[in-house]
Structure 1
Amino acid sequence: MRSHCIALGSWCTAMALALPLHAADKSSLPDEITAIGGQGAGQAGAGAALISDQGAIHINPAMLYRHKNYDLNGTYVWPVNGRPFYRAAAIDGVTSKWTAAFEYTGFSDALDKRETRTEIDSPVRRRGSLAFAIPSDFLSIGFAGHYVEAEDPTVLDEAKTIKGFTLGTGLAAQLSSGISVGASVENLNNEKLKNVSPRTIRAGVAWQDKTGSLAFHADYRDRQRSAYLEDLPLTSEGMLLALDPAVEPATLKNEKMAIIGGQFQTFDVLRVFFAAGRNVSGDKSEVTSGGLGIFQKNFSLAYMVSRIYPDAKDLQNSLHLSITMKM
């Protein structure tokens, strides 16, 4: 009976998060730029010592070492604003001792059908990522390379395409049978792409029971912010106000956020996700997420909701649907 009540309460919470909310007076960063595929969406994009599925490609590639199967992953996201997008991934933990992963990000609509200078939308056209993890007895090292092609948000008076590669790396260690730690950095090398691929530093600790049915994590995340895509004034209709091309926006301080969360499995196959975080310095910024998933031996299906609100007037939520098949 208690398990039924917990599951019902979690489902009600997830549905409440999905309710529409009132409009904001400032823009927030388009969801696609920081969205995580797989179970990471239910952990508010955190879990540097916990997430080992598709989301690990960005959160911490070193965590891919936990894969001992060949997995096909897909995540479809309905963002708060802008075009829906998807992330498709394959993870190979069988062919060699190294675990390799590939991910592609695409959109349901072409960018040229949108007006990113007036609508809150990601300027990205496509992304591709390749990551791998090298495990040892108690330590794993991970590396990731990301390709991005986007419309340059810093060029306001004409359309200009930017494209390039960013590099990331991560470490993960199993301190005991249940406790692990992890840390990672995204975009070590390419400052030109910081508006669409911000440098993000993550560190976390996680505890997981022997069966994998219960886990908790605590994370710290430091992310570059984009003065060209977030904290921009909006009209009463929720459209972006035009910026003066001759005036360079002020530099925004990094978002420094502490996030805690967890997951538990009940009824053998039903898994519940939850997480919440808050900015530890600077302007108020908070995030909450939650979700439900059906997890079986060779198949999983998860529905997750995330909400980000930089200030009290900017309540937002996005929906994520993730599918995994083990081969």
Structure 2
Amino acid sequence: MRSHCIALWSWCAAMTFALPLYASDKNHSTIPDEIVTPGGQAAYQAGSGAALVSDQGAIHINPAMLYRHRTYDVGGTYTWPVVGREYYRVSAIDGVTSKWTTAFEYTGFGDGLAGRETRNLDSPVRRRGALGFSIPSDFVAVGFAGNYLEADDPRSAQTQTIKAFTLGAGLVAQLSHNFSFGASVENFNNKKVKDVAPQTVRAGVAYEDKGGTLGVYADYRDRERSPYLEERLLTADLNHMVPLDTNVTPSNLPRERMALIGGQVQTFDVLRIFFGAGKNVGGEHAEVISGGLGIFQKNFSLAYGVSRTYPNVKDLQDSVTLSITMKM
């Protein structure tokens, strides 16, 4: 077991240094990392884990998984993308007050939209707020989430602010002592804001050992794509998108369908290793890869990770993420 852990640690460490050096020849845009990558531990596990992730990332991935919290947790995630503004997510999860576990998350940015260096390659979002809750039973838990966002409308050549609410739902079933199944849908009610809050369907299974030192998952993810933010030609300097013809409405892009695997291993009592990867299972080529390391104690955790949402895209959507969680 120790040799496996050392190998995984070495892989994560190598990836941490190698990803920022990766380059590609593709000259098309991709969706900004902030729109598709949740906060917390999910950022190090390819943004998935419908039956495994239970921290702040569960609000988006599968709110039913929040039921696993029996403490009051406060946490934060800060992300430094290679392209775009730095952003943060702060959260609180209450698993003490009632049988229903509730969670809140706020997403903000280090700079306002006016401070974006590469405006149209960055997320057009100004801020987000999310509230989720989970209702457990003996073998099944269901969860719901509501999300509020403010953003510049990427469909408009002029600066126009859009404000919207979206809803999500999920369930998780305990198949045995070690195996569970989870499924969810994010934004099932508001297609008008799919560019900044794409509808995403997830389903997956997870295995966790009795001591909680090993957890792995396999997921399927189906996401709407944005013709205003993805697959747009870039200018010669690769720093801006070629302007859209305002008289022409771009065609809808096919949905992104991906198979993903990932997990986490804890060793040396406090060291936890995260990993995740995914690849398209039809349609346009897409990949994701991520990994991280964390120190986890009874009431405090600190984790660092790196992810690349689309390794084959030239605009370098690498993110370095730092997460802190405290239990009260």
Category of TM-score, reference length = shorter chain: over 0.9
2:165 is matched with: 165
**Displacement of 1:244:** 1.1
SS in 1 for 2:121: coil
Asked whether the equivalents of residues 25 and 313 of structure 2 are also in contact (C-alpha less than 8 Å), the reply is no
- Answering whether residue 204 of structure 2 is matched by residue 220 of structure 1, we say no
Paired amino acid for 1:216: V
The CA distance in 1 between the partners of 2:15 and 2:38, in whole Å, is: 21
**Displacement of 1:317:** 1.8
Asked whether the equivalents of residues 33 and 317 of structure 2 are also in contact (C-alpha less than 8 Å), the reply is no
1:278 is matched with: 279
Q: Deviations over 1:218-253 (max 9, x none)?
A: 000000000000111001211211111111111100
What TM-score, normalized to structure 1?
0.95
Asked whether the equivalents of residues 293 and 300 of structure 1 are also in contact (C-alpha less than 8 Å), the reply is yes
SS in 1 for 2:43: helix
The CA distance in 2 between the partners of 1:5 and 1:44, in whole Å, is: 19
Mapping 1:124-273, distance limit 5 Å: 124-156=125-157, 158-238=158-238, 239-273=240-274
For residue 51 of structure 1, the aligned residue among 42, 50, 53 is 53
**Displacement of 1:107:** 0.3
The CA distance in 2 between the partners of 1:64 and 1:144, in whole Å, is: 11
The CA distance in 1 between the partners of 2:17 and 2:269, in whole Å, is: 22
Q: Deviations over 1:4-53 (max 9, x none)?
A: 55534432232222335356400010111112100001110110000000
The CA distance in 2 between the partners of 1:293 and 1:107, in whole Å, is: 24
Asked whether the equivalents of residues 178 and 208 of structure 1 are also in contact (C-alpha less than 8 Å), the reply is yes
Q: Structure 1 residues 22, 285: CA separation in 2 closer, same or farther (over 3 Å shift)? A: closer
**Displacement of 1:308:** 2.6
Asked whether the equivalents of residues 23 and 315 of structure 1 are also in contact (C-alpha less than 8 Å), the reply is no
The CA distance in 1 between the partners of 2:311 and 2:194, in whole Å, is: 20
Mapping 1:38-117, distance limit 5 Å: 38-114=40-116
SS in 1 for 2:105: strand
**Displacement of 1:314:** 6.2
What TM-score, normalized to structure 2?
0.95
**Displacement of 1:149:** 0.5
Paired amino acid for 1:274: F
1:37 is matched with: 39
Asked whether the equivalents of residues 48 and 184 of structure 1 are also in contact (C-alpha less than 8 Å), the reply is yes
Q: Structure 1 residues 313, 32: CA separation in 2 closer, same or farther (over 3 Å shift)? A: closer
Give the aligned length.
Answer: 325
The CA distance in 1 between the partners of 2:306 and 2:117, in whole Å, is: 26
Q: Deviations over 1:161-188 (max 9, x none)?
A: 1101000000001111100000000001
The CA distance in 1 between the partners of 2:283 and 2:315, in whole Å, is: 17
Paired amino acid for 2:269: D
Q: Structure 1 residues 227, 115: CA separation in 2 closer, same or farther (over 3 Å shift)? A: farther
Gaps of 5+ in 2: none
Asked whether the equivalents of residues 27 and 313 of structure 2 are also in contact (C-alpha less than 8 Å), the reply is no
The CA distance in 2 between the partners of 1:88 and 1:100, in whole Å, is: 14
2:288 is matched with: 287
The CA distance in 1 between the partners of 2:8 and 2:109, in whole Å, is: 36
SS in 1 for 2:53: coil
The CA distance in 2 between the partners of 1:127 and 1:314, in whole Å, is: 24
State the identity as a percent. Answer: 62
Asked whether the equivalents of residues 83 and 315 of structure 2 are also in contact (C-alpha less than 8 Å), the reply is no
Paired amino acid for 2:162: I
Paired amino acid for 2:254: K
SS in 2 for 1:17: helix
Asked whether the equivalents of residues 31 and 80 of structure 1 are also in contact (C-alpha less than 8 Å), the reply is no
SS in 1 for 2:21: coil
User: Over aligned residue pairs, what C-alpha RMSD do you find?
Assistant: 1.6
SS in 1 for 2:248: coil
